[in-house]
């Protein structure tokens, strides 16, 4: 039973690569190993110029809600909080039925991992947020 969760497919990284190439107008040369993410299937990509991107396929029917991601990033921008820069977001796709996005790659891991490994301090992180 589905229950509003997109089941993983081994074809996702290559299908997402094709979509990213269409949106960015570049040829992706390298697809990296799947990244850890609780709410999406995420993959790193790089092109011949060395630019790096992250493609995410949303896993859940109601998360993120339409417009939610854009609003969060707008609020982070208005408060001067550093975050990934979304290049393209779509809530429509034949295979990725809950949507997908591509953003600039930011090295260093996600906030949860950085906090767990004491690479950033929670009091500083949450104060900034």
Residue 61 belongs to domain with CATH number: 3.30.200.20
Q: What is the chain's mean pLDDT, rounded?
A: 87
- Convert the pLDDT of each residue in 86-104 to its tens digit: 999 998 899 999 999 999 9
Token representation of residue 64: 């993120």
Beta-carbon-side half-sphere exposure of residue 71 (alpha carbons within 13 Å): 5
Domain contains 5 = no
Tens digit of each residue's pLDDT (9 = 90 or more) over 68-91 = 888 888 888 888 877 788 999 998
Q: Is the peptide bond before 56 cis (omega within 30 degrees of 0)?
A: no
Which pLDDT belongs to residue 38?
86
Residue 87 to residues 8, 55, 75, 109: CA-CA distances in angstroms? Answer: 24, 10, 17, 19
Give the structural domain span for 109.
12-128
Whether residue 44 is predicted with pLDDT greater than 70 in this model: the reply is yes
Domain-embedded: residue 79: yes
């Amino acid at each position: 039973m589905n229950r509003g969760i997109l089941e993983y497919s081994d074809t996702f990284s290559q299908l997402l690569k094709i979509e990213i190439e269409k949106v960015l107008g570049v040829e992706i040369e390298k697809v990296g190993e799947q990244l850890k993410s609780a709410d999406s299937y995420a993959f790193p990509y790089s092109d011949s110029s060395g630019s790096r991107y992250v493609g995410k396929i949303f896993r859940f029917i109601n998360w993120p809600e339409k417009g939610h991601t854009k609003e969060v990033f707008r609020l982070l921008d208005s408060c001067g909080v550093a975050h990934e820069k979304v290049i393209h977001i779509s809530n429509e796709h034949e295979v990725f039925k809950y949507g997908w996005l591509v953003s600039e790659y930011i090295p260093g891991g996600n906030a949860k991992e950085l906090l767990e490994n004491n690479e950033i301090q929670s009091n500083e992180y949450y104060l900034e947020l």
